Structure 1
Amino acid sequence: MNGRNVLLTGASSGVGRHLARLLGAKGANVICCARRQAELDSLVVEIEAAGGQALAQVCDVTDAASVAAAFDAAEERFGLVDSTIVNAGITNAMPAIRMSVESFDQLMAINLRGAFLTAREAGARLIAAGEGGLTRPRRVVFIASTAGRKPERGAAAYGASKAGMIMMAKTLALEWARHEINVNAVLPGFMPTDIIADYLDSEAGQKQIAGWPRKRTMPVEDLDAAMLFLLSAGSRSVSGIELVVDDTQSLA
């Protein structure tokens, strides 16, 4: 990843924060995007203390102008973004009949609209640069979820948003194939990140874990190899896939 310019949304916590650290340690210039400035600043300090290069950029993925501004800032500091990780997202688990329209709209705005705006901006800039304008691999990776292909109770909206991300990734892979832009979706299982830790510790969460083949959650580090592969030159012929990384959870 040396010299690669990678923009990552949802970088302030959880999977995003972990991947930002990973990419910084592997030599990438990491553009860390999220809504919380203080968390981004502390992340950049961590990355740079370990010898990496990073930029904190406040970004609201539901706002096209804010997304464009993030890419502008990245280009000003490091040059053209060659790879984008579409990670920003929220969850709001509850039975569908109890979910308010406002909660549904907020989830879709961040998870699906935000994914579209981020990926569209990434692709548009790479296409405008032309194939001769960048010799590094051109990659867009969506962080989706196994909930996008397997029904989960209380996840009608969340699952629909992740299923939408998966199809978006495949469609963009088709549209952008002639521009040598590879687009893929990674589908993690349940991981003990901040956003879901309380549920996993609850009685219901423990019951669900007990029903999985390996009866455990997967550590976020288990995403590393898959992500590095999809961002690398070695994945040249891999585009339009949904890569499940869930420690067999979805087989239950």
Structure 2
Amino acid sequence: MSALEGTVALITGASSGIGAATARALADEGAAVALIARRIDRLHTLASEITAAGGRAAAIVADITDRAQAEAAVARTVGEFGRLDILVNNAGVMLVGPIEQAPIDEWDRMIDLNLTAALSMTKAALPHLLASAADDPRRVADIVNLSSTAGRQVKRGSAVYNLTKHGLGAFSESFRQEFSARYVRMALVEPGAVDTELRDHIRDGVREGNIDRMRTLDPLQADDIAEAVRYIVTRPRRQTINELLIRPTLQND
């Protein structure tokens, strides 16, 4: 039997990159997957791919920076599949650049998506995760928060991105201390440079330097991070991976 047979996983930011790769990886292990994002065409394509391979998937369009939509996405997942065992808070945006020239709406977008949306999803999912942790088939539930090396260090030109990822790390550790005895595990994954669409949203004049740096690093791929998430959520009940830092071999910061 597959490690996640009979379980349900909800993945935010599932329309591309790490989110889509994680959905495939968890479906491969037998989990039914709820795919949450705003791009409905991509969600339907991914859901069809997973279904064609024998899995179960639901495409749920939501802007999770809106708390009501975040709560509705969790409710629809449980309505569709009957339970929730795994939450992967993957959705995020990286709008780096010097503080002085930064449009303040970029800061708002990062705080809303990287931090507040993850908190809203976690709060909405928690009662269902606690119920699954007390029940078969695994008697354990998981939250995986996708952070970054930016959550372990501070760099110029990355102030608010650093803020959101440090904040996510602090929340994750406090959550772990509060809920580990009830078998809701918390894991923080901190990738270095990954070749995804994340850099596409950086404003002109900053994006080019970021992309040039990526070319020198032989960056990680989305599947590398998906494999890390798969590893975390398939550990036996007695074991928790609290934190996993993954860098490209050539990345020194």
Q: Same fold (TM over 0.5)?
A: yes
- What is the CA deviation profile of residues 189-221 of structure 1, one whole-angstrom value per residue up to 9, with x for unaligned ones? 1111122269899455434654xxxx4211222
Matches of residues 7-156 of structure 1 in structure 2 within 5 Å? 7-127=10-130, 129=131, 131-136=133-138, 137-156=140-159
Say whether residues 1:206 and 2:212 are aligned partners.
yes
Q: CA deviation at 1:230?
A: 1.2
Residue segments in structure 2 that go unaligned for 5+ positions in a row? none
Structure 2 equivalent of residue 2 of structure 1: 5
Call closer, same or farther: CA 1:232–1:167 in 2, change over 3 Å. same
Structure 1: distance between partners of 2:250 and 2:182: 35
Matched length: 246
CA contact (8 A) 2:142 2:184 kept: yes
Say whether residues 1:236 and 2:238 are aligned partners.
yes
Structure 1: distance between partners of 2:251 and 2:171: 21
Question: What CA RMSD, in Å, does the superposition of the two structures yield over aligned residues?
Answer: 2.3
Structure 1: distance between partners of 2:82 and 2:250: 40
Deviates more, 1:57-66 or 1:195-204: 195-204
Residue segments in structure 1 that go unaligned for 5+ positions in a row? none
Structure 1: distance between partners of 2:137 and 2:162: 36
- 1:86 is aligned with what amino acid? N
Q: CA deviation at 1:225?
A: 3.3
Deviates more, 1:8-17 or 1:59-68: 59-68
Q: CA deviation at 1:158?
A: 1.0
Of the two structures, which has the highest relative contact order with CA contacts closer than 8 Å and spacing of 6 or more?
Answer: 2
- What is the CA deviation profile of residues 74-109 of structure 1, one whole-angstrom value per residue up to 9, with x for unaligned ones? 112211101100011111121111112222112101
Structure 1 equivalent of residue 223 of structure 2: 221
Structure 2: distance between partners of 1:23 and 1:130: 17
- 1:206 is aligned with what amino acid? D
TM-score by length of 1: 0.88
- 1:245 is aligned with what amino acid? I
Moved segments of 4+, more than 6 Å: 197-201
Structure 1: distance between partners of 2:126 and 2:250: 32
- What is the CA deviation profile of residues 160-215 of structure 1, one whole-angstrom value per residue up to 9, with x for unaligned ones? 111111111111111112221000100011111122269899455434654xxxx4
Q: CA deviation at 1:17?
A: 1.1
Aligned partner (choices 176, 181, 196) of residue 178 of structure 1? 181
Say whether residues 1:247 and 2:248 are aligned partners.
yes
- What is the CA deviation profile of residues 56-77 of structure 1, one whole-angstrom value per residue up to 9, with x for unaligned ones? 1112212222122112111122
- 1:168 is aligned with what amino acid? F
Structure 2: distance between partners of 1:204 and 1:71: 35
- 1:217 is aligned with what amino acid? P
Could you tell me the percent identity over the aligned residues? 30
Structure 2: distance between partners of 1:91 and 1:218: 16
Structure 2: distance between partners of 1:84 and 1:146: 21
Call closer, same or farther: CA 1:235–1:217 in 2, change over 3 Å. farther
